[in-house]
Every structure is written in structure tokens, then in C-alpha cells.
Structure 1
């Protein structure tokens, strides 16, 4: 059969005036060239990382997966890095694939130098904009602002404890984390935003914001562990990328609703005057009225970023801290009872707790800090170096390198802490604190970028612990021990299950 071209007839696409075969050839050349350039780029990236970490020995890596294949089972991540930290003191590189790596710092000497130098935070603002916002937000965490929050936190805690009273009638252990997350969200909405969400009693559906925050925490960690997801395009086209975008939208819509309703209330001039006259402004008041040295207010984008950050860090990290301290109390009934007796002595016949009571909770505070040492809510803090850094032993990292302070590993470092796996609140007695390395205990990080809300967090931890111990005796469910997993906060893969028994007269 004579072909179309051989017969001299023009094919149907010839009227376009293009040579299809030439286009295919150009496309193929373009794709091959792009692939070659990408391969060269990745090769140079690999060489830069190898050079940057050449002076830091670490565990063997897979040529493609790096150390990711070591972390396929989530519950083994912390156990694995704890073993490596004993073999490679101070710091060692961790590779996520062949082209992404960071220096994992496990000693307070290294942590002190990194926190002093700072660098770019990977999840928050950095540079002049961060300093400007930090200055504007600092008044929101003054003691005079925090004092009225204590009764609000107590009210939210009592709602949670009332729910637990109903659950213990079933004579089953209670999974704490979800309840505590709702309580801390309820607290921060009341304290920082004067917003009554009723999220603890709105039982007809699961709280979408809590679920969105949980999903985001998991998905960010999950992306690091899946090598192809390091590519933005592949990730955004994947089911997990779609779920990530959806979770972001849910979290943002929640934030937007809080900001929008407050702005609408401020449109009323009388309400505006009322806010201005208030002795204690909440966090959102301060954001909405904050102005820089040029008289400029925060943009809507900046408002959302700060509210998102504070809502996440103010509720999810605190929920982790409270859950783990209650777990520690359950494991150690002798310390639990001593804390209970201290709290009863402070409150006497009162059933509520006040700001002035918190400073008197000496032994309870020691127990809280020991729990934060063993189970830090934020297991690690990462920085991208804006300048080269030299550590005390002469080893250096170049500008642009990633370094992460493993708070979890520093808190369990046997060269810093005696019997580090033993729960011993006396580590935090006044006589022992003076002998400790300045960067051996880092639950709220350190340096300029330390946690601005740590006083708020400690107040919430103390209130929740005190009111819980006044009402319940705690015991572990030995059939369901928690499995630690480090995401953005320290969680348990299977939850934290405790048996609760009503305290006589509580």
C-alpha cells in the first residue's frame, strides 16, 4: 500500500505548517537535556553534602535511601537514634535519601553554639521580620497578662475531668491524648483569643481543627521518610500532598474565622474603646493593635501566620506535655501521691487554683520538669545556617547546612545525666540545678529563638496536673504501653492509656 507521503498527498496535519517529527525530536532533546542538568545539579548537591559532613562520622547509609529505610517502623525511630548517639557522641549526619541530610546534634556543648548563632528556622519566620514580630508579641506574655488565664485554664480542665468521670464508669482505661488536645485547644481559644469554641462538649463530630493539626504533624514527618516526596511536584500530585493541602485549608479556615469574628467585633466603636480600656489584653488584641516603629500594622497574612503558629504551639505541644506528665505520674505512684499532698496543702479547702498557687508547687514542678526531660513535647529543633559555624572541637559546617538539636537525645545523654532513663524529680532541686550544663535541659529550646510562650505552657501544665490529681488516682494500662513517635511533637503511636480512679472526696 502506498503511504500518504509516497503518494504526494499532504497529511491532515500538514496545513498547520509544522513538522511533527521535528517537534518530537526537539521535545526529546529538551527532556534529555533537562534530565542531564538535573542529574548534574543533584550530583553537585551530593558532593556538597558529603564535603559538609565529612568531618562528622555517622551510621552507614544506603546509596539511595540514606537512613530512611532504618525508620520504616515508626516506633523504632527514637530507639535507633538513641543507639547511634552512643556510638557517635556530640553529632552525626542523618540522610533522607541521597540529596538531603542534616547534622543531628546530641550534646549540649554543640547545642549551645548553634542556639547562640541562630540561623533560619524551618517552620517559622526568620531575619528582620522575625525580630520585628517577636518585639511586638512579647507584651502578650507578660505576667500581668498571664494571671487572668489561670481560672480560664482551670475551667477547661474541669470540663475534661467531668468527661473522664463519665468514662471511668465503663471500667476501661482512658486514652488521654485526644481529650487533652481538645482541652488545650479550648484553653488557648479562651485565653489568647477570648473565643469560646465549646470544642470539648461539641461531641456530635470530631473536631476538624484538631484533626487537621494531627494530620499536618504526621504528613510533614511522613514526607521526610518517603524519598520521592522530596520532589515538590511529585508530592503535590500525590494523595498525601492532596491531604496536606486539605489539612492546611482546614487549619487556615479555623484561623480566619477567629480573626474575622474579632475584627467584626472591633468595628463597633464602643467595643473598640472597651478593648482599649481593658487592663489585660489577650494575644489577639495585641496582634490587632500592634504597630511597628513606622506605625504599620500587621498584614492579614502576618496575622494569620502568627495566630497559626501560636494556636499550634500553644495547644499541640502543651497537650503532649500534659499527657506525658500524667503518664509519668501513673508509672510512679509514690511521686503522684507526694504531688497530690503538696497540692492539697496549698489549696487547703479550696477546689480551684489561682496564679499565686503555681509558684508554691515546688515538688510538682520538679516532677513536671523531669517528665519534660524524658518526654520533651518538641523532640528536636532545626536550623538552616545563615553563616558558617565552628564548634568547640574545631569541626565546622558551611553556610546553608541544616543542623538539628535533638532535644530528646540531649535529655537522655548518659554523659550529662546520671541514670538518664530513671524518673528522678530531684534532678531539678535547687542544689542540683547549679551543677548542670546550661544547655542540658531544653524543653523550650534556648537562645533568641526560645519558646516565647513557655510561661503560659508551664502554667497550663501545673493547673492540669493539680486539678487532675485532686480528682483521680492514675495507673498505667500495662496492656497498652505507649509507643513514642517523634513528629512535630512527641506523640504515642497507639495513644496514652491510663486507668483513672476517683479520689475519695475529690
Structure 2
């Protein structure tokens, strides 16, 4: 039986229970009962009258439900059912902030574009880069208070506003308000307050009355114009800078220079203005309120204030200058901020609306597009969740207590993808500001401030004053031991290594080599720390867990399932027999790798963690999460440090060379080695599939497709494949890149070297046998991988040239090091070799160069042929990657695709057959049709599927007609395998529904449009038992296809979004929807 909240959208409204509502006035409802200057507080007071967890207010005929029950809010936060709605008073701000991130509607393109462009500016790495700016402004605040003396009355809200405005403007836009050097607040703030106040005023006025408030309208327009004038000045100053703003990696630099990774479009000038206004308002107003509330709460709770002072004195003893690493140790201050935000969330509500008619709580009907408001002041006091909800108790946020909270009971930064993008910025800034204030000042409230809240769109205490006296040395807690950061990270700290010969099993589960590389680095460090460390795939514990020692797991998830090296273990987990084993003498640690853009992020690492816990093993540290979408390296490093700290080992010389290089005579025997686990395979043919696009369309619409090749490869006699398998190809670096490396290192290309491992975990280099320098750099290492901060640190240490050291230091030191690294190195994919060529004074040996390079990784290609037709020959469809280098120097060519493009018949490649997990193979029952959906080279596996069906038909079997929705640019340019598909279509094997992105008159631009047009045929095929297959781009195409399938279900069955989404999820789980996607 399904719950009432899952009832279809057309369920009888009469069956719903009415939402309770306070008594109002005829015609006007509750409109005049809501004072604009205390609206949020009134909503809180009203919520106490309705224990149901929600109520409804009537705004002159427009009824709006207000919700505060955590259980009901959980439903509102389901983004498959509800979306953020920009309604009054927030919508009134669009006159000034337009479609900025805060005020953009859900379906406005600029929201997604700006969100994707600006996300890097709020990563953990970025926070470290902002730290020095934050500290500079916090010190300016403290210096002002010190100058004023102990008897000065400090207007807290005003000074917190100065602090946060200066911080966001300087960190985000390189603009100095210098607020602490002027007695009055900046005019921008007066204009902003006027705009916010008028927005609240319009909320509680009848539209007819508002039409006659002309003076209010004039002031509002004047204030908006004043804000625009300042923002235009900020943008103009940056554009007129010497470099025009190019290279700046702060918020404004990203807005001016970065392009949306999805659409490849920049932000337009109007939207840049709106984004700057958005961040100047949202980036300071709520944080200043948080700090003002927090200082009030500390002064009202002396015991908590004493805890905070003790923590600051421990972490920042004496006159210690705060460092970024100190922030992680400010646990009490973090809990003060969290509890303050619980009681007084400075953005006190957010609104959503359902995509379809629905019910919440199983009984309250909500119409499609009806606005529903979450009242955070009441949610955070929901008595069903919070004990003593009005009490200020920072222990609620101790880790063990926070873990028990209802997952939707605490929403100070909003929800889901529309949650506050600057959350980390605000908390980092607030923690640092409180730490600086408490380190330097003794605080007091001589006036016994009576609590009054000022409401605009945000909340803050009004009229709160305090006094600040410089602390005496005798008031400070004496701390004799080093801080935790010093004890862990100082490379020259004393102490013995802790391994003592204890066994350590370092296991990896991955498909692309990253997890294995991390595992081997961990094992190498552990070996130096005295452990008996061994590296192996996760499948080695499928039958039995180690009974003692330490087990370290580095694992990822592949398409929601286990990666290649953990499939056997996953099968045991699926059978539930792995959980019955015991390993109570084992310690373990798990690092999960992946990308949070994918729904199954961390799915398999969590399963491994649960298995180990169920077996009675003991966790050493919490599971780590390394997210390829944000701060992957930093997360790996942080988790690794916590692991070594817990094990009592130090990570010494972690970045030293991993091999010793002994040069041998050039005429020594040349080593000819293939990469591990690969076989030699012969290229039989290499044909171009794309035709010249000249004259077919205007290339400003979209550039032509690059060269795309059809390769056929002869497999060894003892190697087989199944239709739908992958071929993992081990490429070679291009000759020009190898020659550039050889020339830069002043090596002889034909010189032979012998490599000897300095520890047992060097697997990717040919050891103990002669190999030429050319082959070593061509076959065994990645020359085009993007340089990391660790790489640049090593290069910095490898030069004595002051000028070059200074050039490298900009990515390692200073206010904007992290931002500049992201902008100059990460975004344009600058490699170590690029840096060596660019900076000739760096002195690097071959040994040190190899230590900076990762192993040559395999690239996976879907096999585009049928094993039934050609069991010993595999076909590949390879789209080449080539174009101007993002680094700005020369041309970038994809390592594997350009390697394969140049191969002639008779050439040999190193490759291995790999079966996808989960399987991506045609249905063995030819009587069932298939629905095949793909674009570009995503057609590769489908060519193999249909070739197999053609062979079955030729053998006399009855074969159902399949459907192919295929997208390309133009039918005369890149309709891959068009003639073959036409022949199969004529034979009744397939119906093709094309989409052409560069044919303006064609009705379907993208493959999802063709899918929608074919929906009746798709449903008929599905009813006949078809499986749906999707192959190709995983960032845009695959999500668009999923959305279209959901819409198709809604259109056919009249289902709501949740039901349709559940249907598609069920098809994925049952195997009737399969995808093989790539970025």
C-alpha cells in the first residue's frame, strides 16, 4: 500500500484535510495582521498555535502554507517533487539583483551557468586562499576596537557589517571599502537597507495601495541605481586594470573570464552586475547578523563564553598569528555558530513549489506551483525534534548528538542545489572573526541589552552595544603543549615511527588507476614508517578478512556498482555472506573516491565500511570522501594526515623520488616492455568517418566535429570478447611531447637507463632492466596530467633562481594562492612539463621528474562490433580531442585519441578486453526489441548490438525491430555509420530517429528531442519487453534523456514527478534501463 503523499496528482481534493488557518478579515484575510517590521517573529508565534506542524495564511485571496514540522519539511526538500520558488518579498529584489544566484528562477539559464562557473570559488581550497584577506579585515576590526579604548560603546551590528562587507568585497572582487577608517557606514549599505526595507513593505501592502506609494517607488529606484553605480565602478576598475582582469581567480575574475563548463558560454555583463550585487548583499548581510547574534549569545551565557576563551587560548596562545589550519581546531566556536544559527537563522525562511499537485503528510493538498514556505525559526524549535528548544545549548552539535538529529530539522543555509553557495565562506569568516575578537578582547555588556530584532529580509539584533577591553596576560589560559596542527604537520618533529613491523593491507577498488595509485603511495609511506605494508585489489578479501593488523581501503564506485578490482567482493556482499565473517582483531580505514555529481558517489565505499564494521573490525578514522568535483587532492591529503596521526606515524619524505636512476651505456640491450595486464594487438584498418563540413552550416552555431576514426583490431588467439565489452587501450605519449621533455631535461633520447626501486610499491616503471629514455617517457608515464600543488612545491624546491621561485610562489603563498592555482594551473590543465618549459631556471633531474609523473593509464572504448560476427576482431569508434591548449600555449591533443588516430594497418597496440560493470550488453532474446539512445561516438556499442541482431536475422531467427535515437551535427557531416544503419533499417532491424544540432530547420536538435518525438514507438517497444540503453556524454546528454523519459511517463500515465522518477529508478534497478556514459 502506498502512502497518501504518493497518491496520484488527480486524487480527489475532497479527500484532503484542510490546512489550519488563523482567523482573518473578509476579503483581506491575514494580510493586515502581519507587521512588516517583525514578520518572521510573527510567523514563529503563529506556528505555536498549530501543533500540526503547518498552517496557512491568506494574503487577500492568495493562500500560502507555512510549514515547520521536520517531517513535513523533509517532503518539501525532496527536489524531485519541489523546486525553489522566488516569491515575495524576495522577488521584489529582482529590480536590483535580477537573475543573480539568490533571486534567479529555477528555470533561468543564468542560474545554472553562474552556479557552475562560481562553484570553484567556494571550494575548500578556495577557503584557504581567502584566509589571509579574512584575517586582514578581522585585524582591522580588532585594531579599531583597540584604538577606541575600553570605555567605547561599540555598535556591534554596524561593525560586523563593516567586517563582512569589507571581507566579501576584498576577497571576492579586489575592492576595498575601507569601512573601518570612516565613521559612517558606506552609502552602499544605506541604499541596500532601503531596498530590503521596501521589499518587506511591499509584501504587506495591497497592490492597489502600493500603486499610490510613488515616493516609496522613487526612493527604491534611487537606491537600486546607487547600488548599480557602485557595482559598475567595481567592474570598470577591474576591466581597466593593466591585465584587464585576465588571470584573476577571485569571484569577479571568474565572472569576467571563465566559461560555463556545460554550455561553454561566459556570463554576460548584465548578469555579472547582478551577481556582484547578489554577493555584496548576501555575502555580508546574513554573516554580520550571525556574528552579532553570536556575540549576544556568548555574553548571555558566561559558561559558554568561558569555554570559547579556553579554546582560543589553547589553539592561539599568546599573540599567535592565526593560520588556516587553526580553524579546524575551533570546535567550541563552531558549535556556538551552529547553535546561534539554530535559534536565529539570519535568512529565516525559504519558499518552494511542487512540480505537480501533491500532498504532504499524506493529507494536506498542495497545488502545482503553489508557494509553500518553510519557517526556519519554528523548524529549528520543532519540539518533536529539539529538547528544550528555546535553550542555547552548544552541546547539541557535539558529533555524537548532531549525528542523531533529524536530517531535515536544521536548514540555516537552505536546501539542495539552491542552498547557499557561500556557506563555507560565511562559516570560515565567522569562526576567524570570533577567534580574533576573543584572543584580544575581554567583552562586556554594561547596558544589559534588551533583545530587539531588526527585520528586513534578514534578521539581526538592533541597538546591541558592547565594550571591549584588551585582555591581560594573566587572564589567558596557559598552554604548555604544541597545538594539534604543529604536532601533526611539522616535518622536523621528534618521535619514533610507529609501524614496528605490524602488517598493513592496503587494498584498492577502482577502474581507472587512481585508487591504486593512492593505495601505493599510502603503502610506500607506511613502509617507511615501519609497517609491513602490502598492496592488493579489494577482491583479495572476498573469501576472508585479515584477522589482525591494519586494513586500509581506497575505493570508488562505477555506475553505482563495484569497480573492476572489487567485483568478486561485491558479489559476496550481494549474497550477504561476507557480513557473517568476524575480524575483531583488525583495524581499518576507508577512503572513498569519486565525483559528487554522480548519484552513486560513495555508494560502494560505504558498503565496504559497513561490511568491516559488521565483522567487528575497529575504525581508525572516519571514512574519507575525496570528491573529484571539488578539492580531491586536498581531501586525500587531509584524510591521509588523520590516518598517520591516528597510527602514530609521520609522513616523512613522502614526495621524495620513488626510484634511483642508474645510467648505462647507450648501446645496452633495449627493453621492450608492454604495460602490465595488456596484450599486443594488431591494427587491421583505420578509417575516417567524418566528412568535410564546409558550406553545410554557419560554424558560429557550433564547430564541426573533429576527426573520428573507425579502427579494427586483431585480438590474440586466446583473447575473446562479448558484444558490449570495452577495450582498454594503453596509449603512448605523442613524439613532440616526448621530444620536448627530453630536450628540457637535456637527456639523450637513445640513452639506456636502469631503474631500481627504493621501495616495493613502484609498479608502473620497468625496473632492473635497461630501457631507453625515449621509451620510458613515451610508454610508461603521463606527460599531460595537470600539475598539483605538491608538484609545484617540488619545483619550487628545485630551483635557486629568485625570480623563478617568486613565479612559483604565487601558487603556493599569499592571499590568492589557491585561486591563482585554480585559474592558472588547474583550469587550463597546465602540466609539470609545461611548467618546466615555461620556467627554464628550474633544475630537475630525470629521477625527480619521474617522481612527479603518474603512470600511463588505460583509456576505455566501447567495442563497436559483434563478437558473434567477428570474434577475433574488435572495432572501435574513436573521436579525437584536439584544439588550442587551454594553457594558452600551442595545441592540446588528447593522448589516447591522437595516438590511435595516427596508427596505420599493421601497427601494434597494447590493450585488454574489459567487461563493463554493471553489464552493458544486448538482450539475448532477439524477439525483444531494444531502445538505443546515444549521440556522437556514443553510437559505438549500438553498432555492435545491431550487427549482432543482423547476424541473428541472417541465421533465420525472428528479430524484433529496435529503435535508435541518435544525435549528431549534420547528416552530411557526422552521421556515423549512416549507410550501414540505412541498410539495417531497410531490413527491418531498426527504426532510426535522428537529431541534428546544426540543421536549423530540423525539428529535433538534440537526441532527447528525438526521443520525445518517438515516445509512442518507445512505449510500444517497452511494452514488448525492450531494455533502454543510453551511451555517450554523462554531463548533459544522459541527464536530459532521463528527464525526457520521466516526462514521457508523466504524459502517458498522468503521474506526478515523484512517481515517474520512481518508475525510472525501478527500471535502473531491474536492469531495463542501462547506461554507459562518460565525461
Distance in 2 between the 1:310 and 1:210 partners?
Answer: 13
- Alignment match, 1:70: 33
Distance in 2 (alpha carbons) for counterparts of 1:104 and 1:471: 43
Aligned in 2, Cα 1:250/1:296: closer, same or farther, shift over 3 Å? same
Query: What does 1:85-484 align with in structure 2 at a 5 Å threshold?
Result: 85-96=48-59, 98-116=60-78, 117-122=82-87, 123=90, 124-125=103-104, 126-129=106-109, 130-169=111-150, 171=151, 173-203=153-183, 205-228=184-207, 231=210, 233-235=211-213, 238-265=214-241, 268-269=242-243, 275-276=246-247, 281-292=249-260, 293-484=262-453
Q: Is the 8 A contact 2:36 2:204 kept in 1?
A: no
Q: Say whether the 8 Å CA contact 1:161–1:468 is kept in structure 2.
A: yes
Give distance in 1, aligned partners of 2:37 and 2:113.
38
Q: Which has the higher strand share?
A: 2
Question: Cα gap change, 1:456/1:192 in structure 2, threshold over 3 Å: closer, same or farther?
Answer: same
Work out whether residues 58 and 64 of structure 2, in 8 Å CA contact, stay in contact via their aligned partners in 1. yes
Question: Which string of whole-angstrom CA distances, capped at 9 and with x for unpartnered residues, describes residues 40-79 of structure 1?
Answer: xxxxxxxxxx99x972111111124432433348358615
Q: Which residue of 2 aligns with 1:82?
A: 45
User: Displacement, 1:499?
Assistant: 3.3
Q: C-alpha separation between the residues in 1 aligned to 2:465 and 2:337?
A: 19
CA gap of 1:72–1:395, structure 2 versus 1, over 3 A, is closer
Q: Secondary structure at the match of 1:432?
A: helix
Q: SS at 1:448's partner residue? A: helix
- Name the structure 2 match of 1:39: none
CA distance in 1, matches of 2:285, 2:208: 25
| Counterpart for residue 498 of structure 1 | 466
**Residues 134 and 241 of structure 1, relative CA distance in 2, 3 Å threshold:** same
User: 1:294 Cα shift?
Assistant: 4.2
Quick one: distance in 2 between partners of 1:386 and 1:264? 45
Alpha-carbon spacing, 1:444–1:84, altered in 2? closer, same or farther (3 Å): closer
Distance 2:39 2:373 in 1: 19
Out of 59-68 and 422-431, give the one that drifted further.
59-68
Q: More deviation in 128-137 or 188-197?
A: 128-137
- Larger relative contact order (C-alpha < 8 A, sep ≥ 6)? 1
Between stretches 99-108 and 299-308, larger displacement belongs to: 99-108
CA distance in 1, matches of 2:237, 2:39: 44
Describe the SS at the equivalent of 1:87. coil
> What do residues 125-183 of structure 1 show as CA deviations (whole Å, max 9, x unaligned)?
121512232112111111222212112112112222222234454x3542210111111
Residue from 58, 66, 82 that aligns with 2:21: 58
C-alpha distance in 2 between matches for 1:102 and 1:416: 24
Deviates most, 414-423 or 494-503: 494-503
Tell me if structure 2 keeps the 8 A contact 1:89–1:106: no
2-side partners of 1:160 and 1:402: how far apart?
41
How far is the alpha carbon of 1:383 from its aligned partner?
A: 2.9
Q: SS in structure 1 opposite 2:48?
A: helix
* 1:446–1:77 Cα change, 3 Å: closer
Query: Quick one: distance in 1 between partners of 2:418 and 2:446?
Result: 38
- The alpha-carbon deviation at position 197 of structure 1 amounts to 2.2
Q: Which residue of 2 aligns with 1:21?
A: none
The DSSP-based 3-state class of the residue aligned with 1:500 is strand
SS of structure 1 residue aligned to 2:351? strand
Aligned-pair distance for 1:373?
0.6
Q: Which runs of 5+ in 1 are unaligned?
A: 1-49
Deviations along 1:311-330, whole A, 9 cap, x unmatched? 11111111111111111111
Q: Following the alignment from structure 1 to structure 2, what is the Cα–Cα distance between the partners of residues 433 and 189?
A: 33
Of the structure 1 ranges 123-132 and 145-154, higher mean CA displacement relative to structure 2 is found in: 123-132
- Residue deviations 1:8-30, cap 9 Å, x none? xxxxxxxxxxxxxxxxxxxxxxx
Q: What secondary structure is seen at the aligned counterpart in 2 of 1:94?
A: strand
Q: Partners of 1:381 and 1:322 in 2: how far apart? A: 21
Shift of 1:201: 0.9
Report Cα offsets for 1:380-432 as digits up to 9, x if no partner: 11234443342132322112211111111111222211111111000000111
Q: Is the 8 A contact 1:118 1:447 kept in 2?
A: no
**TM-score computed with the length of structure 1 as normaliser:** 0.81
- Alpha-carbon distance in 1 for matches of 2:282, 2:393: 27
Q: Give the Cα–Cα distance (whole angstroms) in 1 for the partners of residues 118 and 140 of structure 2.
A: 30
Instruction: Say if 2:162 and 2:185, in contact at 8 Å, map to a contact too.
Output: no
Calculate the aligned-residue CA RMSD, in Å.
2.5
Change (3 A) 1:477 1:248: farther
CA contact (8 A) 1:329 1:474 kept: no
CA–CA distance in 2 between the matches of 1:385 and 1:246? 36
Q: Is the 8 A contact 1:336 1:469 kept in 2?
A: no
Mapped to 2, the partners of 1:62 and 1:196 lie a distance apart of 50
Deviation larger for 100-109 or 68-77:
68-77
* Preserved CA contact (<8 Å) 2:20 2:50: no
Matches of 1:404 and 1:83, distance apart in 2: 14
Structure 2 distance, partners of 1:496, 1:465, is 17
> Contact 2:84 / 2:351 at 8 angstroms: preserved in 1?
no
* CA displacement 1:223-262 (0-9 Å, x = unmatched): 212234675x434xx2222221111111111111111111
- Indicate if the aligned counterparts of 1:288 and 1:298 stay in contact, CA closer than 8 A: yes
SS in 2 for 1:501: strand
Q: Tell me how far apart the structure 2 counterparts of residues 211 and 386 of structure 1 sit (CA, whole Å).
A: 38
Q: From the two aligned structures, give the one with the greater helix fraction.
A: 1
Secondary structure of the corresponding residue to residue 266 of structure 2: coil
How many residues are paired up?
A: 442
Contact 1:331 1:475 in 2 (8 A): no
TM-score normalised to structure 2 length: 0.39
Change over 3 Å in CA distance of 1:341–1:230 after alignment to 2: farther
What do residues 353-391 of structure 1 show as CA deviations (whole Å, max 9, x unaligned)? Answer: 221111111121111111111111111112344433421
Secondary structure at the counterpart of residue 57 of structure 2:
strand
Three-state SS of the structure 1 residue aligned to 2:418 is: coil
Q: Which of these two proteins has the greater Rg computed from alpha carbons?
A: 2
CA contact under 8 A between 1:473 and 1:503: conserved in structure 2?
yes
Q: Secondary structure in 2 aligned to 1:376?
A: coil
The alignment partner of 2:33 has SS state of: helix
